[in-house]
Amino acid sequence: MSDLAASLAYYRGLGFRARAWPGGGYGFLHFHRAEIHLGEEPDLGARPDRRATAYLFVDDADAVARDWLAAGGDVRLPEDTEWGQHEGVLVDPDGNAIRFGSPVG
C-alpha cells in the first residue's frame, strides 16, 4: 500500500474491519473469517511489480460484488469459471487485486 491510512479507510468503506498495527507501517483487514495483512510502501508507484493478490471464498459472490460496487469499489463482476467457481475481482487504488468466489450454483 502506498498510503496505509488511506487503504484502511478504503477497505472500511467496503465493509472490511480494518486496523493499523500500533508500531506503524502495517495493517490488518478482516472480512468474514479471513484476515489480510497490509504493508505500507511509500514508493509503490515506482514499483509496479510489487502489487499483490488475495482470494476470498464467499457464500455469494454476486452479493459481495453488489455491495462493493454500491460502496464505490472497482469490481469486475463475477463470472462462472471452468473450475466450478463464480468469481469476481476487486482492484484497490494501489492496483492490488482481491479475487472472490463462490461455488457455481
All structural domains of the chain, each given as residue ranges with its CATH number in brackets, are 4-103 (3.10.180.10)
Which portions of the chain are predicted below pLDDT 70?
44-50
Question: How many C-beta atoms surround the C-beta of residue 73 within 10 A?
Answer: 20
pLDDT on residue 94: 87
* Cα separation values, 66 from 32, 36, 44, 74, 90, Å: 16, 21, 29, 11, 11
Report the alpha-carbon distance of residue 31 to residue 83 in Å, rounded. 24
pTM: 0.86
